[in-house]
Amino acid sequence: MSKFFALITQQPTVSLLTIAVPVLLLLISQVDAQQSRRVRERSWSSTVSMVQRRHQPGELIFAEEFHTLDPNIWEHEITMAGKTNGEFQMYDDDPINSYVRNGILYIKPTTTATKFGEKFLEDGTVDFGTRCTDATGVGCQMRAKRGSGGDIISPIVSARMNTRSVFGFRYGHMEIRAKLPVGDWIWPAIWLMPQANRYGMWPQSGEIDIMESRGNRVLVTPAGEDIGCNQFGSTLHFGINRTTDMWRLAHFKRNDPAGFHSKFHNYGLIWTPDQFIFTLDDEIMGTITPPPGGFWEMGNFTGPKLWDNNKMSPFNQPFYIILNVAVGGDSGYFPENTKPPKPWKNGSPTAREDFWSSRSEWLPTWDAENSALQLDYIRIWAL
Ligand SMILES: *[C@@H]1O[C@H](CO)[C@@H](O)[C@H](O)[C@H]1NC(C)=O
Ligand SMILES: *[C@@H]1O[C@H](CO)[C@@H](O)[C@H](O)[C@H]1NC(C)=O
């Protein structure tokens, strides 16, 4: 841990880190209740969370060491997905796609054909029924080739899980030790979303992406940039509507020729009442400090102000954790005209089928558990 961090956080004790999360959270609440009288004169942390409204600076408020995949912490999303980025996976809670082994959480995409057969993609129907977690209902059913020019069933099954109903926090120092998946068109993400969309629907209430990457061993843009597994990005999304998302003002990338799939790294976020700092292995990757007029001023937004006068707004509310592995999609995260080119066009009505038809090219690049997002721990300290 660098000197920089030592200034604003305290190292948790080793014994705390080795305790399972539920026990730890219970312990924290008990210790906190005892200490609250003793330290009342001390200044409180700016951090708030669902565990406790107030914390002491440096307090460990969330520690997921992945001894098990605890359903009391992680809620699986069960949906056809793809409704916003047109990705090619469905999300389910099948232990083939998400499991813990030896203290590591694996989120691994597999093909739908392995589970249901190839014919199913052409003529099957998926209906998640009451298991469906998509409140809009859009992702609960899918029928193959529905309507003329319809597409096949999502050809990939993967997993996405979140802490929405049990844990969220505002301001803090978060660290995730993870190894990223390798394999063409795999899109893993570790991110935060607002628990209550206080300022409206996406991107009005913000989104914090700590890590996103593309699993391709080689993927070069027309400008010559390698955007495959040698790179990952960290991004804030904010805007007054979909077309004004100003993420380009708050986006950082890192390249490492060894690839982020080759070993575990620490992906970090320091989120204070004044700024965001994204880190990799305790080194600062990028800092976003909004001007006095906040993200509203930074984005040059006009019209009725959506956000309150806090300069961190819309990022002044609790956010929860999401972990997922997507595949493909037609929203542009995988751009056109790359080398090698992607086997579907963004916006194609048959993008899933175009992708699946070219599986002889991409499926051999998927490499068992190396194509899983692997998480060793997630730790969050109060500021
Ligand atoms: C989004 O906001 C901008 C700026 O106010 C506006 O010009 C544009 O029409 C809006 N787009 C949509 C889809 O509402
Ligand atoms: C915001 O407006 C200022 C002044 O007109 C300009 O210099 C700046 O580039 C604009 N920023 C964005 C993100 O459009």
Give the least confident one: 73-82, 215-224, 271-280: 73-82
* CB distance 241 to ligand 1 below 6 Å: yes
State the pLDDT at residue 224. 96
Distance CA 52, CA 61 (A): 8
Residue 97 has pLDDT above 50, yes or no: yes
Q: How far is the CA of 241 from the centre of ligand 1 (A)?
A: 6
Going from the C-alpha of 11 to that of each of 5, 27, 69, 176, 267, the distances in angstroms are 9, 17, 25, 15, 17
- What average pLDDT does the structure give for the chain? 89
Q: What is the pLDDT of residues 129-161, one digit of tens each?
A: 999 999 999 999 999 987 767 999 999 999 999
Residue 30 has pLDDT above 70, yes or no: no
Is the domain covering 68-381 a CATH 1.10.1140.10 domain?
A: no
Asked if residues 177 and 260 have their Cβ atoms less than 8 Å apart, the reply is no
Pocket test for ligand 2, best of 300, 301, 302 (most atoms within 8 A of CB): 300
Residue 358 has pLDDT above 70, yes or no: yes
Q: What is the pLDDT of residues 11-29, one digit of tens each?
A: 333 333 333 444 334 434 4
Asked if residues 112 and 120 have their Cβ atoms less than 8 Å apart, the reply is yes
- Interval 120-132 mean pLDDT: 96
Q: How far is the CA of 147 from the centre of ligand 2 (A)?
A: 46
Asked if residues 112 and 90 have their Cβ atoms less than 8 Å apart, the reply is yes
Work out the pLDDT band at 210, boundaries 50, 70, 90.
very high
CA 333 vs. chain centroid, Å, equals: 14
Give the least confident one: 146-155, 282-291, 306-315, 357-366: 146-155
Question: In three state form, how does the secondary structure of the chain look?
Answer: CCHHHHHHCCCCCHHHHCCCHHHHHHHHHHHHHHHHHHCCCCCCCCCEECCCCCCCCCCEEEEECCCCCCCCCCEECCECCCCCCCCCEEECCCCCCEEEECCEEEECCEEHHHHHCHHHHHHCEEECHHHCCCCCCCCCEEECCCCCCCCCCCCEEECEEECCCCCEEECEEEEEEEECCCCCCEEEEEEEEECCCCCCCCCCCCEEEEEEECCCCCCECCCCCECCCCEEEEEEECCCCHHHCCHHHHEEEEECCCCCCCCCEEEEEEECCCCEEEEECCEEEEEECCCCCHHHHHCCCCCCCCCCCCCCCCCCCCEEEEEEEEECCCCCCCCCCCECCCCCCCCCCCHHHHHHHCHHHHHHHCCHHHHCEEEEEEEEECC
State the pLDDT at residue 38. 41
* 212 belongs to the catalytic site: yes
Pocket test for ligand 1, best of 244, 245, 301 (most atoms within 8 A of CB): 244
- Give the whole-number percent of the chain exceeding pLDDT 70: 88
Q: How far is the CA of 310 from the centre of ligand 2 (A)?
A: 21
State the pLDDT at residue 81. 80
Residue ranges per structural domain of the chain: 68-381
- Interval 105-122 mean pLDDT: 97
- Interval 256-285 mean pLDDT: 98
Contacts of 178 (CB under 8 A, 6+ apart): 190, 211, 264, 265, 267, 373, 374, 375, 376
Q: How far is the CA of 255 from the centre of ligand 1 (A)?
A: 34
State the pLDDT at residue 43. 63
Catalytic residue among 207, 283, 297, 353: 207
Work out the pLDDT band at 45, boundaries 50, 70, 90.
confident
* 283 belongs to the catalytic site: no
Residue 2 has pLDDT above 90, yes or no: no
- Give the whole-number percent of the chain exceeding pLDDT 90: 82
State the pLDDT at residue 22. 42
Q: What is the pLDDT of residues 169-201, one digit of tens each?
A: 999 999 999 999 999 999 999 999 999 999 999
Residue 230 has pLDDT above 60, yes or no: yes
